[in-house]
Amino acid sequence: MKVKKENINSILTINVANLIKNYNKLKTINSKVEVAACVKADAYGLGYIKICKILLENGCNNFFVATAEEALSLRKKFKSINIFLLNGVNDQNTCLEMIKKNILIVINNVDQLNIIKKVFIFRKKKIKCAIHIDIAMNRLGFSAEQFKEVYDGIKNYLNIKLIMSHLTSSEIKNSSHNLQQLNYFKKVINDFSFLKNIKYSLSNSNGSFLGKKYCFNMIRAGGYLFGLDLSSKNKSKPVISLKAKIIQINSISAGSGVGYGANYITKKKSVIATLALGYADGLPRNYKGYILYNNKKAPFVGNISMDLSCIDITAIANIKVNDWVEIFGYNVSILDFAKYSKTITYEISSKIGNRVKRVYNYNI
């Protein structure tokens, strides 16, 4: 791998070709359905500016973010894309700023609705927005009944572009929740059938694989785009690979402790390599897996610290300082890595720190 001659100790490589393949795979599910991209949390840790640019060049024009700061930052770089603010707004100044920047506010509850109404009274112009209907997630969103109750009072100042909801268990294909939520959402659509030129969205990436009936007008893709499978059945192409550099190698005797607390004690004479990668970089402190070097495994030993971690390379010959080892990627899947960390892939990627160099490889 070629990198600049700077002091880089860890690299997250983004396979651009596979990112595009994953996006195109979702587009083939139903040619009439728009595939929007969720790029919140810095595109799940991959770098939202580059990811948005790549997806925009491949036909994606709808992007979802979580916070106002993310929305404004994205708008600064991309003037013409549709940006949806998932968490909505909680004050009038933020609301005005979103409107000024042509960002579509997702309205989740009556409190947010009241802020929108006050801004409308000030502006006297309908506000482009999306409505989030909660169908059993119990996290964000109106209940359908709540929204029906307030609709007559708000129809004159909202320019509704999208009505959306969210599946709770889409990665579990046979979950009874999926069909229940589908039927609930169909009822919502029927109740508001008098609305014209409205798009409807229920499914995330995994939801799109439940069948075309779950797709409606738009799917909101996130983890699948970035190779972060939650389900082993709907395999996406791997997109990210994390590597770290060895910065020191020590031969130590049997009975030696490694790392904070000396919780790991060598049982024999061992060769320990130190990686410039720790929990501040996104390597979970509880990780109990291994690295790969030339198809050979070396286990992590001792407590992972903020900036450093240790691996036992006793069984690997011809490994030296400044060599790169794979933490996860093409040989150690991120799905397995997450399992060893007792979490999910989304958390792993979104917590990869800024000290890790992002490299966008178009030639893998």
Decide if 163 contacts 133 (C-beta within 8 A). Answer: yes
One of 40, 214, 287, 293 is an active-site residue; which one?
40
Decide if 162 contacts 201 (C-beta within 8 A). Answer: yes
Residue 75 burial (CB count, 10 A):
20
The CA distances from residue 299 to 120, 188, 262, in Å, are 60, 52, 16
Nearest to 48, CA basis, from 81, 97, 90? 81
Cα gap 349→46, rounded to integer Å: 7
Any bridge partners for residue 274, and if so which?
Answer: 248, 310
Torsion of CA 55, 61, 65, 71, to 10 degrees: 110
Residue 82: φ, ψ to 5°: -85, 125
Nearest to 345, CA basis, from 275, 293, 284? 284
40 catalytic? Reply is yes
One of 260, 269, 288, 339 is an active-site residue; which one?
260
Question: 333 exposed, middle or buried (CB, 10 Å; 0-12, 13-18, 19+)?
Answer: middle
Residue 250 burial (CB count, 10 A):
12
Beta strands in the chain (DSSP E): 10-15, 34-38, 62-65, 82-85, 104-107, 127-132, 158-164, 199-204, 218-221, 240-252, 257-258, 264-265, 270-275, 290-293, 296-301, 309-312, 324-328, 357-361
> What is the biggest distance separating any 2 CA atoms in the chain, rounded to whole angstroms?
77
Which residues have a catalytic role annotated?
40, 260
